[in-house]
Structure 1
Amino acid sequence: MSDLPPKTDLAALPYRPCVGVMLVNADGLAFVGKRIDMRGQPDEGGVYWQMPQGGIDEGEDLRTAALRELWEETGVAEEHVTILAQTREEVLYDLPDDLIGKLWGGQYRGQRQHWVLARFSGEDHHIRLDAHDPAEFCEWQWLEPAQLPDVIVPFKKRVYRAVLDAFRDLI
């Protein structure tokens, strides 16, 4: 059940501005983290993994937001990242009905995301999931990009396919 008042028109809610980061290493593998709120859950169907993403602060430009989110969620510093590209258009997704009203204070129906492709030039020890409190991820791995839609929650699969299509030739 939603925390919203019963007369709220969910379709009228705005989308939350967000940035996502597809971080790839020299081998062309993509970073994914297991959400900390899924710690201890069996990885049935692999739907607990995601690429770094988060809200864009008021007045923040896309590059700054991407590097901030990457730092907060992975501990990867700007010195170990080269931004290669960004999506031309935003990718929108709606939350499932059972999540609207529970996330982001019930203010949004989903997210409008810009994605950036970033090359990681550091070593694996430069990835520190505990760099920010609270942590977003409890585990991480490098994954073949083609596998990304298989490890994300179902309502974001279309987003991950769009990100792959946008960045495929640059990975």
Structure 2
Amino acid sequence: MTSQPKPGYRPCVGILLFNKNGQVWIGKRLQKTGKPALDFAWQMPQGGIDPGEEPYNAAVRELYEETNIRSISLLAETDDWKSYDIPEDVRKKSWKGQFKGQTQKWFAFRFDGDENEINIETPAEGAHKPEFEDWRWEDLAKVPALIVPFKRALYQELVTEFSRLSKP
């Protein structure tokens, strides 16, 4: 286990948001106009950590910026940072090739609000650009099959680590 982000990787957070039935929130990445539809476009919320920002605060901020959700309670977090490499063709387009991939601290939250709070069309009360075109609750064990292949091993680790929380 490592207590610091992996050098050469973009420091990020990831969020597992559980509902009262033990399912997790997943969003379908917004497709750019004129681009072909992506296979495996589903993922859990995630995002970068701002300079000087604590990972927990980044997780709360990213969840709000992507989903408008604020009604949450912390259930757990990973002890270590989990990393994945981004394929070379994607790496050249992302962050100007500066990072090999992402290293993430993951947080599990319980969603305590009403689903009317979820707003992916105008997240953060309209202060943030939409990142998702659709969303749903899904069984945690099924999520790795919906993710881009280069993230699957990390998501399988999350299933192993957090499956205890997927009980209603």
TM-score (norm 1): 0.85
Is the counterpart of residue 76 in structure 1 residue 85 in structure 2?
no
CA contact (8 A) 1:38 1:48 kept: no
2:117 and 2:163 mapped to 1: Cα distance? 25
The structure 2 residue matched to 1:102, chosen from 78, 82, 93, is 93
The structure 2 residue matched to 1:90, chosen from 81, 98, 120, is 81
Q: Which residue of 2 aligns with 1:29?
A: 23
2:22 and 2:32 mapped to 1: Cα distance? 26
Q: Which residue of 2 aligns with 1:8?
A: none
Q: Which residue of 1 aligns with 2:103?
A: 112
**Structure 2 unmatched ranges of 5 or more:** 1-6
CA drift of 1:124 comes to: 1.1
Q: Could you say what the CA RMSD is over the residues aligned between the two structures, in angstroms?
A: 1.7
DSSP 3-state at the match of 2:31? helix
Deviations 1:30-75, CA, capped at 9 Å, x for gaps: 100010126796575xx01000000011111111000000000011
Cα distance change of structure 1 residues 75 and 146 upon mapping to structure 2, 3 Å threshold: same
CA contact (8 A) 1:91 1:113 kept: yes
CA drift of 1:133 comes to: 2.8
DSSP 3-state at the match of 1:150? helix
**Deviation above 3 Å: which 4+ runs of structure 1?**
38-44
1:18 and 1:43 mapped to 2: Cα distance? 23
Is the counterpart of residue 65 in structure 1 residue 58 in structure 2?
yes
- What is the aligned length? 155
CA contact (8 A) 2:12 2:48 kept: yes
CA drift of 1:170 comes to: 2.3
2:30 and 2:81 mapped to 1: Cα distance? 26
2:163 and 2:73 mapped to 1: Cα distance? 17
**Amino-acid identity (%):** 41
2:38 and 2:130 mapped to 1: Cα distance? 19
